[in-house]
Amino acid sequence: MDDKQLPTPIEAEDLENLRVAKRKLESPSLTVELAALVGQPLEAGMKLLPKRFSGRVHAITQAALLRAIDIAIGSLAKSPKVGKHEAMHRWLSAGSGAIGGAVGLWSLPVEIPISTTLVLRAIADIARDEGHDLSRLDVRLACLEVFALGGASAQDNAAESSYWIIRGSLSKAFADAATHLTQRGLVSEGAPPLVRLAATLASRFSVNLSAQAAAKAIPVVSAVSGAAINLLFMQHFQEMARGHFIVKRLEAKYGSDAIQRIYADLDI
């Protein structure tokens, strides 16, 4: 659709920002990007992973995300705002990747919680840079949404890869968590609504972590390549976060329904 025919009036700068957001959110999946980085399909790496590996990664990821929920609720808003930290988060992630690449898959129980925390902090930094108030519960929960965003891939069907469908599929888990937190506070990481939220996020985020591990399992991957893989991993989620919080900012200004309609009709 031509921009002049958009159904809701929107300022030219906001329209361009929304186009940028869509470009980021509809970028290739992390799996595709990792395969391009290592120069071969990740199926080769997946075959080298131990049996029941995916289940183990999912369990570690769910535990890490429960901790991330605790951090998101308890301390994100307290971190000082001192400029942008995007580059710092990337290099911290690269450093953990270098160690993981040298040690191998044995480092995953340690590396996954570290990576998850670093990604969350990077997401929160971008949310704040886009003008969102981290003292608000809904903003901190929106930071957690980014873990489920991965971009489109050739294997995804339209329902699976749609940014809006993913958000819709998460809505009940987030609504239940928000109700629990509003009424009772954090109380315990093991509260059923929080466990369900962590499990819902882990079902998508662990796929990206498995792809990351598969890339590192390919024999030619070294500590240097492990750093590059982690750097790409962090950059990917920073891009998802930037797109997500541009959309959230514009939703606050124009309404969610209007932004969703305009987003659907934008060419990128």
Question: Residue 85: phi, psi to the nearest 5?
Answer: -120, 20
Burial label, 8 (beta-carbon count in 10 A; 0-12, 13-18, 19+): exposed
Q: Give me the pLDDT at residue 4, please.
A: 46
Q: Give me the pLDDT at residue 162, please.
A: 81
**Structure-block tokens of residue 266:** 């934008």
Q: Give me the pLDDT at residue 27, please.
A: 86
Q: Give me the pLDDT at residue 102, please.
A: 45
**Structure-block tokens of residue 165:** 């469908």
Would you put residue 52 in left (φ > 0), alpha (ψ -120 to 50) or beta?
A: left
Work out the percent of the chain whose per-residue pLDDT is above 90. Answer: 41
What confidence tens digit (pLDDT) does each residue in 95-126 have?
554 445 544 565 677 788 888 888 898 899 89
Whole-number CA gyration radius for the chain:
18
**Structure-block tokens of residue 166:** 């993913």
Tell me the whole-structure pTM to 2 decimals: 0.84
What tens-digit pLDDT sequence spans the chain (268 residues)?
Answer: 445 455 568 999 999 999 999 999 998 888 888 888 877 778 878 887 887 888 888 999 999 999 899 888 877 766 665 445 655 645 455 455 444 554 456 567 778 888 888 889 889 989 999 999 999 999 999 999 999 987 655 455 443 448 999 999 999 999 999 999 888 776 565 689 999 999 999 999 998 888 888 877 776 655 547 778 888 888 999 999 999 999 999 999 999 999 999 999 998 7
First to last CA, the chain: 11
Work out the percent of the chain whose per-residue pLDDT is above 70. Answer: 77
